[in-house]
Structure 1
Amino acid sequence: MELPNPPTEASIADARRSLDNHKSSLADVQHKIDAAETQLAQIVADFRCVINDLQRERTALETKVAETLAYIAPIKRLPHELLRYIFLLNFEEQPCSAWSLAAVCSLWRRLALSMPKIWSKIRLLTSPNASADTIRLWLERSGTRVPLDIEIYLQVQSPSSSSSSRTCARSPSPWSYSAPITTHHYVPFHSVSQPGTIQIIPTAAPVALPPSPPHHDHWEAITPPPPPPPHLPPVSQSSAPQSRASTHWGHIAIFYLVEQMHRWERFVFRFDKQFPSWHALKSISGAAPLLKEFEVSCAEPVYYGEWPWLPSANPNSHVVLPVLQSLTLAYTPFKWASPMLRTNLRHLNLRALPTTNIPLDRILHIVASNQRLEKLSLHFSTVVNAVLPLIPTTLTELKELSVGGHYMMATIVDSLILPALDALSLDMEARDPLEDSITNLLSRSNHPPLTRLSIAYGGSNPPYYYTGGSIIASWGFLADLSHLRSLHVGGTPLDPLLSMLGAPDDDGGPTQWACPYLTHLALRNCPAHVEGLPKLVQMVELRNPEGGTTASAFSSAAPPGPGTVPKRLLQLEMYDCATLGQDVVAWLKSRIADVTCVEPPFERYGCFVMCH
């Protein structure tokens, strides 16, 4: 519509009538739009309902399909007896497999919970801040009659504090300090402060955590385990405050464990430092008719009072331990006259508290009370002179002996006769040279075929230079160790040892090679003079000539003679001994299969230097 301009009264009236018509038309159009949108929304809602119904039907059909496929699966046709047998096979390889098996399906869960046997091996890495109900649940599922194999590793020190400290390189533990466990499967826990799995960091080749605990001479070599398998379900922690949980953990956990003491077959409990409820351990007492192995070990000394527990039982008390074969006590209290120490043990490992002052004759009494010993480890940092005369003690079955601590412990070595000795480790304070003790021991024992020898290798004492005393004054006794295969040495001058291991002397010295079967040489804190490095190269050159022709030059059954060529060295370890240089290390690696070298601290300039 065209309107004149300027507007007149008539055009204005026409415009107003037109405006009213437009507004009416606009309202009609908006009404139609609203109606169409309402209709569309209803259609969408109707179809959404249809789609939802179809999706629910699809889900139900998928569930039925899955159930049907599961029903017709071959494993469903396995008899329950065969499935239980498979569970047992898996349990033998993975002690904690029951937790995974019980989480597969309802049938497997029922079967797993009906088999106490697969819950009978407790492998737990935990802390005082975790819930002790994990132990209760484990014990409940193991039933009431199945023997229990228990290994618990309590990490009191937080992982952050332990990982922040600079770690020094260590060689794998010598023969007497083998790692503890044959299985590497543990149930982890979750920490309140730091979520995630916490494990005790191994300081030597593991177990760990701990397979059968070893008989160690110092704690650092005992290592609880590597991280648990990722498929194991984490054990949830109690919601109680951290401080409250740590206060009561020991009382609750030990209470549950002691209640089942009549079923213990193995009991291993290790902790790295004192925890608030540590004195709950003193409640470990009573009959244990199935117990074969018992260990309670701490990584550092803790000052205890009198404990009325099994290792401190009254000498006249009746202790029911008819099958106990292995006993390990590290930095925990015990009494020399306890009946537990007189059960005809096979393996005995004692690391006494620094506050323990036991006369030498009573230490020897402990040894003499167990005539069937096969492995013996004694470490006493403080001892007193014998009250009664020391009587020579013969242990016809002892194969491994480890003695450390106070220098007077050498008197114990001088009182033993060990005709079956295979491995010897001495790690005592350096007061007098030990070669006479070693020679006299072997002579009294009718020269047993010693294959492993460790001298001051695990100690933390500084090296002994030529200006001071040395734990070995002369290495001449090595000429008589014709069966030795492994030699670990620490804290003694390097040059005389290398000279002895070199070629026989033509000037009135030994006429045959010393230790001709030696294949593993480990050295720690052994200082070298200027000639030390050339002597090392010369010794390796003679024992491992280029071409590798001496590895099997003679049979181990044949006695070495003057013309005998020694076996090749297969492994060489040097820790804080001498600065070799990359060229020498490369040459050594070209002659020896396994070479590990860590430079002395004053050569590292604050950095960790290792060649492997």
Structure 2
Amino acid sequence: MYIASLPNPPTPSSLAEARREVTVQQASHSNLTTRIQAAEEELARVVEQSKRAIRELEKERAAIEQQLAQTLSYLSPIRRLPQELLGHIFMCIFDDLPCCAWILSAVSSLWRRQVLSMHKLWSKIRLVTSQSASAETVRLWLERSGSTVPLDIEIFLHSPAPGSGSTSGELSTIRRRSSSTGTLSVANGWDTWVDYPVPPSTPELMVSAPGYVHAYPPHFTGHGFHNTFGGMHHQDNVASSSANQQAQFEGSSPSGWRHSLQAPSRSTLHWGHIAFFYLTEQMHRWERFMFRYDRRFPSDEAMKSILGKAPLLREFEISCAEPGFLGIHHWKWLPSTTTTSTYELGNLTSLTLQYVPFKWSSPIFRNLQSLSLRSLPNSPHALDRILYMISSSPQLENLALYFSSVNPAVLPLSLTTLERVRVFSIGGHFLLTSLVDCLVLPSVETLVLEIDSREAVEDTLSGLLIRSNHPPVSRLSLSYNVATGPGGIVYTGGSMVNSWNFLGDIDQLRSLQVGASPLEPLMVALDAPEDEHDPWFCPNLVSLSLRACNAHPMDGLPKLVRMVEARNPDSAGGFVPLTIGGVTPAKLIQLELHDCPNLDLDSDVIRWLNGRIRDVACTEAAFDRCVYSLCSTHFSCQ
């Protein structure tokens, strides 16, 4: 290097020479820097020109690809299908998936025009929604169904419980993708979600595998919530969205839904008024109407508008999951009309009312084939009034009654025969046993009793069977669904059965469910008869379910094992059920034991039961879980 040739330490002459060299080097460095900067600028200019050329080529390629896609689409065999045949295919899909119109209309403009012209494809409304979602979904659905096609309506409304800000349906986390037109997610029946675009301004929807559209709350954005209730205008043409709309859509999230549920909005307060305004406008087209909801909601009084003519209506249901109406004994709507009211319900055959007001004298209770009533606790009905509602439909085939509050009869009860009733379920107040004592059901096949019995129920059952000339009962349930209350507390009423001798009159019984009854007497009754001249009880029994049946610590389990051994002997050892009186009992296929106190089901007993019975399900008693901190165990053998 140049510096190495200079003397050290420096002399005045070497220092002067070094200063001259610095000046030369600095000038060379400045010259090279200028040349490099010019070269870089030239390179940047060349790169930018190349990139611009590439972008132009890519744009031309995208245009060619779009033209190619359109040409290939035009050559697609499905375009050669006549519109009539394409419509027939759509109708075949509609039979299996009532909400298919939302999917089909998003495939192409051709299909969209075809689907929108087929009002039948929009005639089945299957909607799961909430008060935070827009009620305009109902309007849009009804508009697309035309003005003459009969309507089949099922709407489920989820309302958040007091103190909570969400519902399970609204907070379900699903995979979503950005779209210029919103999102419609369709489950294919497995674990994969397929996304399809829907028309702009349409509320966010999801079609699930069973065939229901789920309407979610409006989109959440950084600027607040986009409320589709205010000024919603639907356009059938699919338009591209702006970058701002795209950013808003990508900003939507389940956490935003939770926030929107907590924020009051007009749609939350008036959802019922909006939805039922649109629905009742088309009441003349109702063929089937079902509305279910979790609990009372701010605009539930809108249901009072269900009043008028529905000449096509065949099935009508309004059901609430919990009692909540107060002080509405004179609520005027279709089930509370008077006998002098003008109405048209000539085709109504099925009626279900649960925890909603109704009047016993309403003409809606006439000429039904299926009737299911669950009354409000604060609206007691007299026994003779309940019998009047039943007798008004002598053609009943399915009858389900639950009255938690009942008044004694005002007029004497008369014997009432219902020739066609095949399914009969009754539960609630203990006075309902007097109602059962007045019924004759010669064709009943399913019998469910969940009455708060104060006396033994076998007399009521025996009387019903004798009066009905021993009907072909194949399924019997006694207090099974009310055997345990909230928190696993054993229900104290139970079936109150002292003697099971009435089972000897039900030879065709195949399924027996019993709740809150002593275990040992039932096991003895179902065991092989001690005397060879005595008949088998329930020789066709294949399913036995017990809930909260108290067992003796010493006798309960042995008698259960003995009963199973008699009906399901070890087939591997060549044993067969005993034939007594020429009758060989059927083998048990299903055995369920839930919350039975003092029934010590150890693992060896479970294995033994699984070896004898195909399907065994057992859970431990509630108080055992509390005292011993044991976990419920479920065993199943297919």
Taking structure 2 as the reference length, what is the TM-score of the superposition? 0.80
Output the CA distance in 2 between the equivalents of 1:69 and 1:333: 60
Residues 421-436 of structure 1 aligned to structure 2 (within 5 Å): 421-436=444-459
Report the counterpart of residue 237 of structure 1 in structure 2: 217
Q: Look up the SS of the partner of 1:488 in the other structure.
A: strand
Q: Look up the SS of the partner of 1:267 in the other structure.
A: strand
Select 1:514's aligned residue among 526, 533, 537.
Answer: 537
Select 2:529's aligned residue among 504, 518, 530.
Answer: 504
* CA displacement at 1:455 relative to structure 2: 0.9
Report the counterpart of residue 584 of structure 2 in structure 1: 565
Report the counterpart of residue 560 of structure 2 in structure 1: 536
Select 2:612's aligned residue among 591, 601, 607.
Answer: 591
1:86-125 Cα deviation digits (max 9, x unpaired): 1111111111222122222222222222222111111111
* CA displacement at 1:442 relative to structure 2: 1.6
Does the CA-based 8 Å contact 1:319-1:340 persist in structure 2? no
* CA displacement at 1:129 relative to structure 2: 1.7
Residues 155 and 364 (structure 1), Cα distance of their counterparts in 2 relative to 1, 3 Å cut: same
Select 2:315's aligned residue among 293, 302, 310.
Answer: 293
1:281 partnered with 2:261: no
* CA displacement at 1:341 relative to structure 2: 1.2
Residues 290 and 553 (structure 1), Cα distance of their counterparts in 2 relative to 1, 3 Å cut: farther
Residue identity in the other structure for 1:376:
L
Q: Look up the SS of the partner of 2:402 in the other structure.
A: strand
Select 1:331's aligned residue among 352, 355, 371.
Answer: 355
Does the CA-based 8 Å contact 1:100-1:232 persist in structure 2? no
Q: Look up the SS of the partner of 2:571 in the other structure.
A: coil
* CA displacement at 1:195 relative to structure 2: 6.1
Report the counterpart of residue 285 of structure 2 in structure 1: 263
1:102 partnered with 2:105: yes
Output the CA distance in 2 between the equivalents of 1:325 and 1:549: 54
Does the CA-based 8 Å contact 2:483-2:491 persist in structure 1? no
Select 1:479's aligned residue among 475, 499, 504.
Answer: 504
1:70 partnered with 2:48: no
Does the CA-based 8 Å contact 2:415-2:438 persist in structure 1? yes
Report the counterpart of residue 48 of structure 2 in structure 1: 45
Select 2:95's aligned residue among 87, 92, 95.
Answer: 92
Output the CA distance in 2 between the equivalents of 1:255 and 1:13: 101
Report the counterpart of residue 310 of structure 1 in structure 2: 334
* CA displacement at 1:33 relative to structure 2: 2.2
Output the CA distance in 2 between the equivalents of 1:232 and 1:390: 45
Residues 39 and 380 (structure 1), Cα distance of their counterparts in 2 relative to 1, 3 Å cut: same
Does the CA-based 8 Å contact 2:129-2:215 persist in structure 1? no
Residues 448 and 36 (structure 1), Cα distance of their counterparts in 2 relative to 1, 3 Å cut: same
Output the CA distance in 2 between the equivalents of 1:379 and 1:363: 11
Residues 15 and 519 (structure 1), Cα distance of their counterparts in 2 relative to 1, 3 Å cut: closer
Report the counterpart of residue 222 of structure 1 in structure 2: none
Output the CA distance in 2 between the equivalents of 1:575 and 1:309: 42
Report the counterpart of residue 79 of structure 1 in structure 2: 82
Report the counterpart of residue 216 of structure 1 in structure 2: none
Residue identity in the other structure for 2:412:
P
Residue identity in the other structure for 1:327:
L
Residues 563 and 195 (structure 1), Cα distance of their counterparts in 2 relative to 1, 3 Å cut: closer
Output the CA distance in 1 between the equivalents of 2:413 and 2:10: 138
Select 2:594's aligned residue among 575, 578, 602.
Answer: 575
Residue identity in the other structure for 1:476:
N
Does the CA-based 8 Å contact 1:550-1:567 persist in structure 2? no
Report which structure shows greater RCO (CA 8 Å, sep ≥6).
1
Output the CA distance in 2 between the equivalents of 1:596 and 1:56: 65
The total of aligned residue pairs comes to: 548
The alignment-based identity, stated in percent, is 49
Residues 548 and 295 (structure 1), Cα distance of their counterparts in 2 relative to 1, 3 Å cut: farther
Residues 249 and 24 (structure 1), Cα distance of their counterparts in 2 relative to 1, 3 Å cut: same
Q: Look up the SS of the partner of 1:99 in the other structure.
A: helix
* CA displacement at 1:458 relative to structure 2: 1.5
1:310-350 Cα deviation digits (max 9, x unpaired): 001122112211100100111110000011112x0000001
Residues 383-402 of structure 1 aligned to structure 2 (within 5 Å): 383-402=406-425
Q: Look up the SS of the partner of 1:307 in the other structure.
A: coil
* CA displacement at 1:62 relative to structure 2: 2.1
Output the CA distance in 2 between the equivalents of 1:436 and 1:80: 66
1:29-66 Cα deviation digits (max 9, x unpaired): 33332322222122111111111112112222222232
Select 2:513's aligned residue among 488, 494, 498.
Answer: 488
Question: What is the RMSD computed on CA atoms of the aligned residues?
Answer: 3.1
* CA displacement at 1:307 relative to structure 2: 1.2
Q: Look up the SS of the partner of 1:149 in the other structure.
A: strand
Residues 536-555 of structure 1 aligned to structure 2 (within 5 Å): 536-547=560-571
Report the counterpart of residue 603 of structure 1 in structure 2: 624
Output the CA distance in 2 between the equivalents of 1:18 and 1:161: 83
Does the CA-based 8 Å contact 1:579-1:600 persist in structure 2? no
Output the CA distance in 2 between the equivalents of 1:231 and 1:476: 47
Which of 569-578 and 111-120 deviates more? 111-120
Q: Look up the SS of the partner of 1:243 in the other structure.
A: coil
Taking structure 1 as the reference length, what is the TM-score of the superposition? 0.83
1:545-596 Cα deviation digits (max 9, x unpaired): 1118999999xxxxx9713110011111111112311111111111111111
Which of 260-269 and 369-378 deviates more? 260-269
Residues 140 and 499 (structure 1), Cα distance of their counterparts in 2 relative to 1, 3 Å cut: same
Which of 364-373 and 428-437 deviates more? 428-437
Output the CA distance in 2 between the equivalents of 1:267 and 1:580: 47
Residues 230 and 54 (structure 1), Cα distance of their counterparts in 2 relative to 1, 3 Å cut: farther
Does the CA-based 8 Å contact 2:97-2:211 persist in structure 1? no
1:514-573 Cα deviation digits (max 9, x unpaired): 00001111111110112111111111111111118999999xxxxx97131100111111
1:359 partnered with 2:382: yes
Residues 591 and 18 (structure 1), Cα distance of their counterparts in 2 relative to 1, 3 Å cut: closer
Q: Look up the SS of the partner of 2:373 in the other structure.
A: strand
Output the CA distance in 2 between the equivalents of 1:500 and 1:227: 50
Residue identity in the other structure for 1:268:
M
* CA displacement at 1:228 relative to structure 2: 2.4
Residues 12 and 307 (structure 1), Cα distance of their counterparts in 2 relative to 1, 3 Å cut: same
* CA displacement at 1:157 relative to structure 2: 3.0
Output the CA distance in 2 between the equivalents of 1:357 and 1:65: 72
* CA displacement at 1:76 relative to structure 2: 2.4
Report the counterpart of residue 255 of structure 2 in structure 1: none
Residues 316 and 88 (structure 1), Cα distance of their counterparts in 2 relative to 1, 3 Å cut: same
Output the CA distance in 2 between the equivalents of 1:102 and 1:452: 46
Output the CA distance in 2 between the equivalents of 1:234 and 1:499: 51
Output the CA distance in 2 between the equivalents of 1:575 and 1:136: 47
Output the CA distance in 2 between the equivalents of 1:327 and 1:103: 36
1:453 partnered with 2:476: yes
* CA displacement at 1:16 relative to structure 2: 6.2
Residue identity in the other structure for 1:492:
S
Does the CA-based 8 Å contact 1:463-1:492 persist in structure 2? no
Residues 514 and 160 (structure 1), Cα distance of their counterparts in 2 relative to 1, 3 Å cut: farther
Output the CA distance in 2 between the equivalents of 1:457 and 1:236: 37
Report the counterpart of residue 30 of structure 1 in structure 2: 33
Q: Look up the SS of the partner of 1:328 in the other structure.
A: strand
* CA displacement at 1:412 relative to structure 2: 1.2
